[in-house]
Chain A
Amino acid sequence: MKDRGKIKKLALTIPSLVTLAVLVVCVCVGSVYIPVGKVLSTVWNGILGRPQTGSAVPIILRVRLPRALCAMLCGSALSLCGAAMQGLLRNPLADGSTLGVASGASLGAAAAILLGIRFPGIPLAGTMVTAILFAFLSLTAILALAFAMDRSLSTHTIILIGIIYTMFVSSVMSLLVTFSGEKLRSITFWTMGSFSGTDYPQVLILSGTVLVCGTGLVTLSPELNAFSGGEKNAAHLGVNVKAVRFIVLVLVSVMVGVCVSVGGSVAFVGLVVPHILRRLTGPDHRALLPACIFGGAVFLMLCDLCARTLLSPVELPVGVVTSMIGAAVFVVIFYRTRKGVR
Chain B
Amino acid sequence: MLEWKDVTVCYDKKPAAEDVSLSVREGEWLMLCGPNGSGKTTLLEAAAGVLPYRGSILLEGGEVREMKSAFRARKMAVLSQGSRVDEDFTVSETVALGLYASRRRRFFPAPDGEERVARALDMTMLTPLKERRMTELSGGESQRVFLAQVFCQDTDVLLLDEATRSLDMRYQKEIYDLVRAWLSRGGRCAVSVEHDLDLCRLYGTHCALLRGGRLVASGPVGEVMTGKNLKNTFDMDAEEWIREKKSVWKGWMESDQGTG
Residues of A at under 8 Å CB distance from B? 87, 90-92, 219, 221-222, 225-226, 228-230, 232-233, 235-241, 278, 282-284, 286
Contact = CB atoms under 8 A, between A and B. Distances in A.
Nearest to B71: A238
Contacts of A87: 87
Contact of A238 (B83, B84, B86, B101): B101
B101 A237 contact: yes
A240 B97 contact: no
B88 interface: yes
B98 interface: yes
B100 A222 contact: yes
A232 B69 CA distance: 12
B73 interface: yes
Given A235-B48, A237-B100, 4 more contacts: A233-B80, A236-B50, A238-B69, A282-B88
B88 A238 contact: no
Contacts of B89: 228, 282-284
A91 B88 CA distance: 12
A284 B77 CA distance: 22
Interface residues of B, number: 32
A219 B97 contact: no
B103 interface: yes
B78 interface: yes
10 contacts: A221-B107, A222-B103, A225-B97, A228-B87, A229-B94, A236-B50, A236-B80, A238-B70, A238-B73, A282-B89
Contacts of A230: 83-84
B27 interface: no
B155 to A, nearest CB: 10
B42 interface: no
Interface string B32-71: 0000000000000000111000000000000000001111
Given A219-B106, A229-B94, A232-B80, A239 B87 contact: no
A226 B88 contact: no
Nearest to A288: B87
Contacts of A237: 73, 97-98, 100-101, 149, 153
Nearest to B72: A238
Given A226-B100, A229-B94, A229-B97, A240 B69 contact: yes
B97 A228 contact: yes
Contacts of B101: 237-238
Contacts of A226: 97, 100
B93 interface: yes
A91 B86 CA distance: 8
- Greatest chain A CB density within 10 A among B50, B85, B94, B98 is at B85
A283 B87 contact: yes
6 A-B pairs closest in CB distance: A238-B73, A238-B101, A283-B87, A238-B70, A236-B78, A228-B87
